A and B are shown apart, each in its own frame.
Chain A
Amino acid sequence: MSEKVIIIGGGLAGMSAATALAQLGVSVTLLEKENQLGGHVKNWDRLFPTRRKSDEVLAYFSEHLGKNIDLHLRANIRSISRNGRFTVTLENEVEIKGDAVLIATGYELFDAFRKEEYGYDIYDQVITSAELEGMFRSGEKPLLDGQVPRRIGIVHCVGSRDEKVGNLYCSKVCCVTGVKQAIELREIFPETEIFNFYMDLRMFDRHFEEMYFEAQKEYGINFIRGRVSECAENQDNSIVVKVEDTLTGRPLKITVDLLVLLVGMVPRPETRRIADMLGLPMGDDKFLLPTDEHTKANQTPVEGVFLSGTVKGPGCIAGTVADGRAVAVEIKSFLDKKRTQD
């Protein structure tokens, strides 16, 4: 068969769908704007909840992509038109034709500076969870002027569940990331006290709750229920955190040497541009909407256009991989039906 699928986005959702389509014998063109595949996953060191290396997951999909895949790196989309088939024109004038388009453009990280009261980009000792993960990956210890931090605070829900930044939704993965990183910090600095400031701990998936229990029991991580209201810097560069301890109903003040902000997921502005070219609907949260959230979670009202992964809202790796495979089946049956009609 000669049908071709254009996948926009070479992160985990795109890679998962591409491998599944390759297995089904469908030829695929994969477009990635960066100079390598792997999306956000390639910036991780270890994955929750098992703390296996992220590279192992990426290696699996790179291996299974197949040799017949038509891969375009540094591919920036100029326009998409639909006239029976789809034509995607790249900034470098290359034209790609396909019978179906899969949008797997994912998410981007919330800009922590927007929560100015937490002091990101103002105080050096305030970093994001993504920056901390980058340090884990490079093997660099989060030292402060060569000193081991005595106390580290981890702030949950930064940019999520917050009307003040326009994001009412939960980013799903930050809770478990906060617990994972707390454990890893404690392994690097066994004498350092770790405090997680949370509103709820949403340990929704398999082994997550067990990891939380392990963090309390084996690693002595301290959990304080309350959303951090503001941070200020002391003369010695430590950070004073103000929070309500909602379990005692009293305001609480604590000094930490390092503060980690668990930044959530936000939709990509580039996705909006692509969606506008195709006339795709968007939810109140600005992520793209499928035809039906339960029964047609990969389809869109535009025939031949499909969605997969976190372009539809926050999700974790296991869910994204499964969604990539699910969309592959939907695309295959769409192409089969189209061929019999033609």
Chain B
Amino acid sequence: MKNFGYTLQPDRQIDFDRNERRVLDYLKEWEPSVNQCVACGSCTATCSAGQFSDFNIRSVQTFLRRGEVNKLKTEIRKCMFCGKCQLVCPRGVNMRNLILSLHNAIERLGI
């Protein structure tokens, strides 16, 4: 078929009513500090993995709270569990357990 150069753009909008909420519900049970983030970015600034890749541990949390889980699956594999993020967090978010629980949630919920 002749290609006229038209494409379909995927919707960039976060549709909060249709998003996957089970992962966040799981996290709230296993790592309740997930809701304490104020998006200051200290974690990302100090992140070992983030210095050499596009891994952004702050936005992992934000995407999780918005229910954008597909993005998370690939992202959380980049974490090396060094724990520096946790040392600098001003709100006491237990980041290592958060990432670990995310791995567990995705596996157990079969996402």
Contact = CB atoms under 8 A, between A and B. Distances in A.
Does B associate with A? yes
Tier of interface size on chain A: 10 to 19
Grouping DSSP codes into helix (H, G, I), strand (E, B) and loop, the A interface class, with mixed when no group exceeds half, is strand
Interface stretch (B59-67, B72-80, B81-89, B97-105): B59-67
Given A248-B59, A248-B62, A248-B63, A254 B35 contact: no
A247 interface: yes
Nearest to B24: A222
B15 A225 contact: no
Contacts of A220: 28, 35
A339 interface: no
Contacts of B38: 201
A245 interface: yes
B4 interface: no
Contact of A245 (B14, B17, B28): B14
B91 interface: yes
A253 B32 CA distance: 25
Interface residues of B, number: 20
A253 B62 contact: no
A253 B16 contact: yes
Contacts of B51: none
A245 B66 contact: yes
Interface string A246-278: 011011111100000000000000000000000
Interface of B: 12-17, 28, 32-33, 35-36, 38-39, 59, 62-63, 65-66, 68, 91
Given A216-B36, A217-B32, 10 more contacts: A220-B28, A222-B65, A251-B13, A252-B14, A252-B16, A253-B14, A253-B15, A253-B16, A253-B17, A254-B16
8 closest Cβ pairs, A-B complex: A254-B16, A252-B14, A247-B62, A251-B13, A216-B35, A255-B17, A216-B36, A247-B39
Interface of A: 201, 213, 216-217, 220, 222, 225, 245, 247-248, 250-255
